Amino acid sequence: MIVGVLRVRLAIFGALSLKDKRRVVKSIKDRVGNRHNVSISEVDDLDHRQAATLGVAMVSNEARFVESALARIVDELRTHPEASLVEHEIEIW
């Protein structure tokens, strides 16, 4: 069993309130979760209105598949219109 974990930090410059941030984060979580069949959750920066840290987890039997799927998610987040990717980290076990 191979487990892949992706941690991404996003800047949400257009968020003027936590409600604005939650709308953007929910949109990202719904879209990424449905498209890539992964578990995704906001794991840090919960009280910062212009920052969000998301954790993404995926399980498979092939490390290459997990790594490429998580890399595709990073590429997708780089082009998101309402959030800017600040940093990311991928771990495979």
Q: What CATH number should be reported for the domain holding residue 23?
A: 3.30.70.1120
Domain that holds residue 66: 2-92
Which element (helix H / strand E) includes 58? strand 51-60
| Full pLDDT tens readout for the chain, 93 residues | 999 999 999 999 989 999 999 999 999 999 999 999 999 999 999 999 999 999 999 999 999 999 999 999 999 999 999 999 999 999 999
What is d(CA 12, CA 36) in angstroms, rounded to the nearest whole number?
A: 22
Instruction: Say how many C-beta atoms besides its own lie within 10 A of residue 70's C-beta.
Output: 23
How many domains is the chain partitioned into structurally?
A: 1
Residue 79: the pLDDT is 93
In this prediction, residue 26 carries a pLDDT of 96
Q: What per-residue confidence (pLDDT) applies to 2? A: 96
- 77 exposure class (CB count in 10 Å sphere: 0-12, 13-18, 19+): buried
Looking at residue 28, its pLDDT comes to 96
Residue 89 is predicted with a pLDDT of: 97
**Statement: the pTM of the whole predicted model exceeds 0.75:** yes
What gap in Å lies between CA 82 and CA 10, rounded to an integer?
10
Which residue type is seen at 18?
A: L
Residue 58: both structure tokens together: 């995926």
